[in-house]
Structure 1
Amino acid sequence: MKDDSSAEVKISLEPVVKTTSPTKDSPSHRANDGTKANLINGLNLLGFFLSLSASYLGGIAGWFGGSTNDELNSKYKTLITPSAAYYGYIWALIFLFEGFFAVAQLLPVYRRHPLVQRGVGPFFIVACVTQTIWQIFFGYELLLAAAISMFALMISLLAILMRQYSVIHDEEQKRIALIDAGEISEEEAVDLTARPPTLSYWLLRFSFALHAGWVTTSTPCVVAMAMMQLGMDVEYELWVSCISVPLIFGCCLGLLLREEMGIPSYVFSGTCSYAFAGIAWELYAPSTVILGKHDEASITLMKNLSGFCGACILVVTFSRIVALFLRDQCKKLLKKEEVEEIDGAEYPYVKA
């Protein structure tokens, strides 16, 4: 009788094909392209120092108009103004990692990186200029102009994120095509998508997601400040607050649940959650400015709404990380290839 307990083995008689060296257009060749820095690299460095200088001189030293950002935020406090400690920490992180980017993108290994040349492109210098303009307008208390500048800054940063997502998708498709064509092996292929937690991710992608997330939550706040300065009814400020927080919350969920390359964006969503926590914390002990404008019901509404949205983003983020980790582990088990050696040659086979 046959032993049915033994596993049937199907063996492919085609030996494993050795791949060739990387071609001129392969990702590994382009990653090591040591060409000189171009105009975009220079403008990125210049823009960073311009933005950093304006933010320090205006926001901390009070050169523009004589008031610091802390003083103006206290003067024009709204229902969606985070606690002062929250935006103090986040701006330090933003400038720190954007400084890392500004220096790293000048290095030979990164200066022609697709995420720098096509992903960031001219939009970082645009973001730096608009942030400088915003700081000047904000310092001189031209809040309507500051709100327009902040909106332009948000669009510039979101454009960088969208362009980087597009580059990540294109580069991954090229890498897969070269591997399938046998021009390079998986070991030789250089991953230009800068996946977390690689060093490339922290240098080329992290700062923009952080900056975009914070500016996205700050834009409606500056709009509410402008409405306050214009003497508009406090009901309009309440409407801006009630609409903007759930809208941003929905965008965060969309970025967390999508399946495209470069997504989910944990940093953008986490930054928004951080901002919502800062709003809720500030409203637990509201300032006299808030108490003088809004009733207790409005304050409680925004406190609970921002706290709920911030907590939900954290829960979804944690759940998403766990779910994707388990999915990737299952894929690795299903795609695990075993090799049988016959007469010194290795042949791939699959158990029946």
Structure 2
Amino acid sequence: MNLPSCCSRPSSSEPPARLNHKNILNLIAFIANIVLVYGIGNAGWIGTPTNGELSDKYQTIVTPNSSAFSIWAVIYVFQALFAIGQLLPKFRAVDMVQKGVGYWHCLVVTMQIGWTFTFAYEVIEASLYYTESDGSLWEFWLLRFPFAIHGGWITAASALNVNVQVVSMEQPSDVQLAVGIISLAVLHAISVWVLFNIPRPNWTIACVLSWALGWIYNELQDPLDMIKDTFSADTISGVAYAAVAVAAGIIPLQILIRLLLLVRPSWNPYKSAAVVDNADEEQSLKESLKEQDDVG
């Protein structure tokens, strides 16, 4: 079976590729992320308030229940698998690691660590990012899923950070409500975009956004006194229903897409991409054989 070009490996007759600086930097970035983000943001090692304490201080109308943040355990587990897996001979030189992930992992970790420091010192600024994912299906869990789930959560967290900024600036309740509603609309738009308007639908990001929105609804069932004092009961209920409606709507969208792909396999973007990748691989092989014949 031909492998897509994005996942190409040296042939078994060639010696395994050596570790390079990108492999080492990915490992260092993961360790720094665990030590600094967890140590400062969650454990308060340098004596600053934890992220949880600051989240309560700057409670917003779209702050999810604290249980939502348990997703970090999943993120760290799969990023640990990536950090270790990309050191192995089988994966260290694949294009997904060297060209796809490249330096992006290090950059994201650097920004996340910086956000943890600034949040701990209560310099609340919106942080914005990313995750671009590409590669073969069989590499999904090791090389793609860790970044897709992280990207989905950072997207939700970025929307929350905008609301935190508004609260920290002591804006009136109508401004807070407007920003909260816009945030829900943006998250819904992103979920639709990653499912419909990119070459390969990203189910993971959409599911993570649904997770975050569901926990926003859960939190608003029994909000903190700060929220009760700022917004009326009808407003709180309205935002809660909006959040759960968006969260519940994302899953049927995914089911609809999957059913359409079953009915119309030709619409499957993964299949189309694989055909293109294999065609490129075969063309490259033909050119290589032709060059060898010319030399002979």
TM-score category (smaller protein)? 0.7 to 0.9
Return the alpha-carbon distance in structure 1 between the equivalents of residues 162 and 101 of structure 2: 27
Residue in structure 2 matching 1:79, options 26, 49, 61: 61
Q: Which residue in 2 is equivalent to 1:105?
A: 86
Q: How big is the alpha-carbon RMSD for the aligned residues of Structure 1 and Structure 2?
A: 2.4
Deviations 1:39-81 (A, max 9, x none): 1111111111111111221122112443222221112111111
Residue 194 of structure 1 pairs with residue 133 of structure 2: no
Q: Which residue in 1 is equivalent to 2:43?
A: 61
Return the alpha-carbon distance in structure 2 between the equivalents of residues 67 and 45 of structure 1: 28
Q: Which residue in 1 is equivalent to 2:282?
A: none
Q: Which residue in 2 is equivalent to 1:225?
A: 164
Q: Give TM-score, length-normalised by structure 1.
A: 0.70
Q: Which is strand-richer, 1 or 2? A: 1
Largest Rg, 1 or 2: 1
Return the alpha-carbon distance in structure 1 between the equivalents of residues 6 and 145 of structure 2: 25
Number of aligned residue pairs: 265
Return the alpha-carbon distance in structure 2 between the equivalents of residues 312 and 206 of structure 1: 22
Q: Which residue in 2 is equivalent to 1:295?
A: 232
1:35–1:70 Cα change, 3 Å: same
Asked if structure 1 preserves the Cα contact closer than 8 Å seen for 2:213 and 2:247, the reply is yes
Q: Which residue in 1 is equivalent to 2:205?
A: 268
1:64–1:110 Cα change, 3 Å: same
Q: Which residue in 1 is equivalent to 2:277?
A: none
1:205 aligned counterpart, secondary structure: helix
Deviations 1:96-116 (A, max 9, x none): 111111111111111111111
1:26–1:48 Cα change, 3 Å: closer
1:143 aligned counterpart, secondary structure: coil
Deviations 1:192-215 (A, max 9, x none): x321xx3x2101000111011111
Q: Which runs of 5+ in 2 are unaligned?
A: 272-296
Q: Give TM-score, length-normalised by structure 2.
A: 0.82
Q: Which is helix-richer, 1 or 2? A: 2
Asked if structure 2 preserves the Cα contact closer than 8 Å seen for 1:105 and 1:116, the reply is yes
Return the alpha-carbon distance in structure 2 between the equivalents of residues 26 and 95 of structure 1: 25
1:229–1:106 Cα change, 3 Å: same
